Structure 1
Amino acid sequence: MKKLATLLILSLLVGFTLPAFAGGGTDGKKFNVAEMINHHILDAHEWHLISTTDETTGKEHHYSIPLPIILWTNEGLVVFSSSEFHHSPVVSKGNSHYILDHEHIYLADAQGKKLEGVSQPLDFSITKNVASMLISVVILLLIFFNVKSAYAKRASQAPKGLQSLLEPLILFIRDEIALPNIGHHYYKKYLPYLLTLFFFIWVNNLLGLVPTGANLTGNIAFTMVMASLTLLLTVFSGNKSYWGHIFATPGVPKPLLIIMIPVEVIGIFTKPFALMIRLFANITAGHTIILSLVGLVFIFQNMFLGVPVTLFVLAMNCLELFVALLQAYIFTLLTALFIGQAVAEDHH
């Protein structure tokens, strides 16, 4: 009962303070929940932290971490900070002018009008998602180098600290994912990739739940690259039996191969495509639901609505913690299954 009362008090306090975090509305503008959601789940050339509104003037102030913009243009490599777009909507570098429109950088004239019929620059910028991915890589390196050194110092001793947390997960991936799906003969070859895949996706899923965090695993480009790696690994690991089942399915009459071969070839691509969509859709859906619930408070402009909304958001965040682990597990499991199908020996 005491815990329930504490939870209700915290929910009430959050409900009272939620209106202070509405990124607009005090200057007469109507709150746009779709714009708020897109702002949080889409990639950006800066890392937005918080927005405040001046009570006297109603002017919004945005606090962000600028990120480097790297462009390849007809004039060569162009590098500058994204903060320059805050000082002027048109950034001039050399003989060219650049504008930022919906997170896309275009060549423009001196007045800021997009130039048509010209070759637009290639954008290799360190965006919010890229910065988040680099942070996750650093986190993983720190964690696993720490665990490696702990094993070296505590050889033949019981695991302790991070060791005791990660060892069951590593053994689970080896014994419950790699071994059953790939087999004893080949699992050691693919286990490092499966471990990297699992922890990389899991850590980035968790980073997306941190306030102001990037929605990396909810980005279709990221999930497409991860699924493409699985596709390439499966295709190049395929043995004679694997390709034989695709182009000459055993037990199928030869006239039916005209139908079966295209179906099997399409299946090679639909499997990783399903991986791509599953991870993208589940992570994006969770973030969208949470932000939509918070947006209800500002749409109805009722602070008391913050109490039930906070409870729902708290429940959704707990669910998202589980989904972050589940989606990393599913992606790794299906990758191991596809690899196992490619390397399986023909027993007929």
Structure 2
Amino acid sequence: MNSRLKYILAFICIFVLGVAPTFASSTESSEDVNVKELILDHVADAYEGHINILGLNATIPLPIIVKGENSGWQIFMSSNFHHGTAEHNGFYIASSGDYRGKIVEKNQAGEEVRPWDFSITKNTLGLLLSSVLLIVIILSMASWYKKHSKEDDPKVPKGFFGFMELFIMNVNDDIIKPCVGKNYKKFAPYLLTAFFFIFINNIMGLIPIFPFGANVTGNIAVTLVLALFTMVIVNVFGTKEYWKEIFWPEVPTWLKVPIPIMPAIEVVGILTKPFALMIRLFANILAGHSIVLGLVCLIFVTVQLGTAINTSMTIVSVVLTIFIDLVEILVAYIQAYVFTMLSAVFIGLAQVEPHHSHAEKH
């Protein structure tokens, strides 16, 4: 059997064995399945991880690091909350309200307030794992080239290193270089890092078995930080001509003074560009996870409709879930590609050079 087909089938088995039992354990205690709450709980962050596969049902506690108004710094494991049903040292997980699913405490007025929360949540752990994996890949590639570049007859990278070289050069030559322009080498490290960071997190988010499965790039806080990095680089390294086009664009004077209509529009554009980056990545990844989870829910929603309907809908659910999950693998690459390409375009537009007339050139 083709090795690629083996990997695809293995991924499908992992998904089916990982997701379905988890949903089953979430729904077995209730006759009515609240699909909305179920999906939101699974795409949201959490203070513990779950492993539910082949009869193994385990909860993995994560470190809680908080600083409260009353008790100061506290470090303990999330197992002390007993799945969110118990209080520990004045802290507990809110079951409703604005802070639902977050650690809170009561202040002197008896109101729920959020402490300083530095806990290692599921998303934080996924973020750390993906960062470590990215660093290991980069350092491994650098070590390989450093070792073989000193040889009289340099070797051509093969296997994993050959694939990564092809991948990196594809991003560099087909996205960064044409979009940024002649100064592309200056911005290539950031853009390559952003691409592989997003891609690795997207792929890890599709693996439903803890410690993977975290919805990192479907978290708006993460996409916000990525977009802010791009915005800072665009505006800090923008040329004088770039800023001139913002505050004094080449339009009729009445559009600039006495009311700065065009400069105001250009300034708004400084904010809308990163906002588009943030929302596009967040919405697409979150939507993909929600669709997959919604399809899995069909199995449990139709239980009360009879064996025949439930069996047929189970087959439909599994087939569609596998199809969408395979599409999500492609989407994982596309979203990393789009974010990197748009960031490169924005950076390239900020590298505009002064325009010289034909007479000045001669």
- Residues 25 and 133 (structure 1), Cα distance of their counterparts in 2 relative to 1, 3 Å cut: closer
**2:202 aligned with 1:205, yes or no?**
yes
Question: Would the aligned equivalents of 1:99 and 1:114 in 2 still touch at CA under 8 Å?
Answer: no
1:320 equivalent to 2:331? Answer no
Give the letter aligned to residue 347 of structure 2: I
SS of 2:25's partner is coil
Q: Quick one: which of 141, 149, 155 aligns to 1:157?
A: 155
Instruction: Note if 1:148 corresponds to 2:145.
Output: no
Amino acid at match of 1:84: N
**1:121 alignment partner, one of 99, 109, 115:** 115
User: What residue identity is the alignment partner of 1:47?
Assistant: G
Structure 1: distance between partners of 2:204 and 2:173: 27
1:256 aligns with 2:255: yes
1:172 paired to 2:170: yes
2:318 corresponding residue in structure 1: 310
Partner of 2:61: 66
Residue equivalent to 1:220: 220
The residue aligned with 1:100 is 93
Q: Confirm whether residue 330 of structure 1 aligns to residue 338 of structure 2.
A: yes
Report the secondary structure of 1:22's partner residue. Answer: helix
Q: In the aligned structure 2, how far is the partner of 1:99 from the partner of 1:239?
A: 51
Pair 1:299 & 2:301 matched = yes
Match of 1:29 in 2: 31
User: Are the aligned partners of 2:91 and 2:104 in contact in 1 as well (CA < 8 Å)?
Assistant: yes
RMSD (Å) for aligned C-alpha atoms: 2.7
Contact 2:68 2:105 in 1 (8 A): no
Closer, same or farther: CA 20–134 of 1 in aligned 2, 3 Å: closer
Number of equivalenced pairs:
321
Match of residue 291 from structure 2: 289
Aligned to 2:124: 130
Question: 1:63, CA displacement in angstroms?
Answer: 2.4
Answer 1 or 2: higher relative contact order, Cα 8 Å, separation at least 6.
1
Indicate conservation of the 8 Å contact 2:63/2:120, yes or no. yes
Partner SS, residue 99 of structure 1: strand
TM-superposed CA distance for 1:347, in Å, is 2.3
Residue by residue over 1:228-257, the C-alpha shift from the partner in whole angstroms, topping out at 9 and shown as x without a partner, is: 11111111111110000000001x122212
Identity of aligned residues (%): 43
What's the offset of the Cα at 1:325? 0.4
SS of 1:159 mapped into structure 2: coil
Distance in 1 of aligned mates of 2:160 and 2:235: 36
Matches of 2:28 and 2:67, distance apart in 1? 41
Does the CA contact (< 8 Å) of 2:46 and 2:101 recur in 1?
Answer: yes
SS at match of 1:78: strand
Give deviations 1:88-123, integer Å, cap 9, x for gaps.
61111xxxx1111132111138xxx9931x864111
Partners in 1 of 2:225 and 2:141 — Cα distance? 28
**2:349 is equivalent to residue 341 of structure 1:** yes
Deviation at 1:151, TM superposition (A): 2.0
DSSP-derived class of the 2:88 partner = strand
On the 8 A contact 2:21/2:53 being kept in 1, the answer is no
Give SS of 2:350's match. Answer: helix
In the TM superposition, 1:1-20 aligns within 5 A as none
The CA deviation at 1:297 is: 1.3
Deviations along 1:60-89, one digit per CA (max 9) or x if unpaired, are x96221111111233532211111101861
**CA distance in 2: counterparts of 1:28 and 1:299, whole angstroms:** 11
Matched, 1:193 2:187: no
TM superposition shift of 1:148: 2.0
Distance 2:270 2:184 in 1: 21
Please give the alpha-carbon distance, in whole angstroms, between the structure 2 residues aligned to 1:98 and 1:76: 11
Q: Is the 8 A contact 2:47 2:61 kept in 1?
A: yes
1:145 & 1:136 partners in 2: Cα distance?
Answer: 14
Note the residue ranges of structure 1 that are not aligned, 5 or more in a row: 54-60
TM-score norm. by structure 2 comes to: 0.82
Q: Which residue of structure 1 lines up, in the alignment, with residue 74 of structure 2?
A: 78
Q: In the aligned structure 2, how far is the partner of 1:148 from the partner of 1:263?
A: 44
| SS of match in other structure, 2:217 | coil
Q: What residue is the counterpart of 1:57 in the other structure? A: none
Deviations 1:297-333 (A, max 9, x none): 1111113322121111111111100000010011011
CA positional deviation for 1:204 = 0.2
Equivalents in 2 of 1:114, 1:207: separation in Å? 43
Q: Partner letter of residue 86 of structure 2?
A: P
Q: Distance in 2 between matches of 1:73 and 1:175?
A: 50
Which of structure 1's runs of 4+ aligned residues deviate more than 4 A? Answer: 17-21
Match of 2:82, SS state, is helix
Distance 2:40 2:114 in 1: 25
8 Å Cα contact 1:19-1:303 kept in structure 2: no
Distance 1:65 1:171, change over 3 A: same
| Structure 1 counterpart SS, 2:197 | helix
- Greater Cα shift, 216-225 or 64-73: 64-73
* Cα 1:149/1:43, change in 2 over 3 Å: same
